[in-house]
Structure 1
């Protein structure tokens, strides 16, 4: 329970810390990573994949089951 609170507090802190960046969304993964995206990530309900563009302009995908939350900045 305490670990979930720590992750949530860290996610909120990261959002405020990177507010100067050009990303519009932050995706928190279940393994603790924070992924900054340019634009809104798109969910494909047929495949279960989330497509997004990273800060370098690369188009990437991640399985929806790996993402714990998506936060709009």
Structure 2
């Protein structure tokens, strides 16, 4: 019975972790920025807000981003 509970917990953890997609942003100067979750674009300011791999929230000017691809 204990293994059924363990399998259920593992399955739930895998489903939860699969919900958030990580992205790679390429900048015009050739940098590759790995993000946790989907970056958000602020249409008023033109800034792209994202969380880096270390968990820090950062912003970059949207004009500097050449592409954004889901990993």
Structure 1: unaligned runs, 5 residues or longer: 1-22
Tell me by how many angstroms 1:66 deviates: 0.2
Q: TM-score normalized by structure 1?
A: 0.68
- What count of residue pairs does the alignment treat as equivalent? 51
Tell me by how many angstroms 1:53 deviates: 0.2
Matches within 5 A, 1:51-62: 51-62=49-60
Structure 2: unaligned runs, 5 residues or longer: 1-20
Superposition misfits of 4+ residues, deviation over 6 angstroms: none
- RMSD over equivalenced CA pairs, Å: 1.0
Residues 1:66 and 2:64 aligned together: yes
Q: TM-score normalized by structure 2?
A: 0.70
Deviations 1:15-66 (A, max 9, x none): xxxxxxxx71000000000000000000000000000000100000000000
Larger radius of gyration: 2
Cα distance in 2 for residues equivalent to 1:64 and 1:56: 21
